[in-house]
Every structure is written in structure tokens, then in C-alpha cells.
Amino acid sequence: MKLPTKKTSDKKEETKSEFSWVYLEPRLTEKAAHISTYNVYTFNVASKANKIDIMKAVKEKFKVTPIRVNIVVNKPKASYIRGRIGTRGGGKKAMVYLKKGDTINFV
């Protein structure tokens, strides 16, 4: 008597991209909107991300090739909440420069 065999599905499993941990989130501020006219786009990124990781993530996610990337580290600020000291903010932002003609749409 033969035992039934498991059928494997032909569907490909969806794999996360290699650079999904960088987590590019657009930073929508007045200053970011102003410099986007010069093909410079600003993103909030993971604190462990470096310039090379950010360039590869932008290339993979938005299908554009960045020229260069500048990184700014925002330190957490101390604040008082109900008489106790705490922290707020902090993180890392990246400014991605694209060549003329390339654009990123945040719709």
C-alpha cells in the first residue's frame, strides 16, 4: 500500500528584499519638500543603516540610481513628562541625491 505524498505548490514564496530592514520612510517636511526640487529626497532610516545599504535600498525600492547619500544622526532630546525626565526623538535621516531627470513619487 502506497502512502499519499505531499504535493508541493508551484507558487513562489514571497521573499522580503535584502534591504527591507533599512525601512525607507519618506520624511515629509517643508525643508524636504523644498530640496526635492533639486532632486534631493529625504528619508528616515534604521539607525544601523550605512550609506551603501541606503543606496542599494533606494535602487531596489524606487528603481532609480542615487548619485550620493548624506546621513544625519538626530540625537534624542531630554524632556520632562509629568515631572519625570524622559527622552523623545532621535534617529537617523538620509538625504539621497539623484541624477537630473530621475524622480521619486510619494503617492
Mean pLDDT of 36-60: 93
Q: Assess whether pLDDT exceeds 70 at residue 8.
A: no
In the chain, pLDDT over 70 holds for what percent of residues? 84
Mean pLDDT of 68-72: 96
- Sketch out the chain's domains with CATH numbers: 20-98 (3.30.70.330)
Mean pLDDT over each residue of the chain, to the nearest integer:
86
Looking at residue 9, its pLDDT comes to: 53
Buried b (16+ CB within 10 A) or exposed e, 9-32: eeeeeeeeeebeebebeebeeeeb
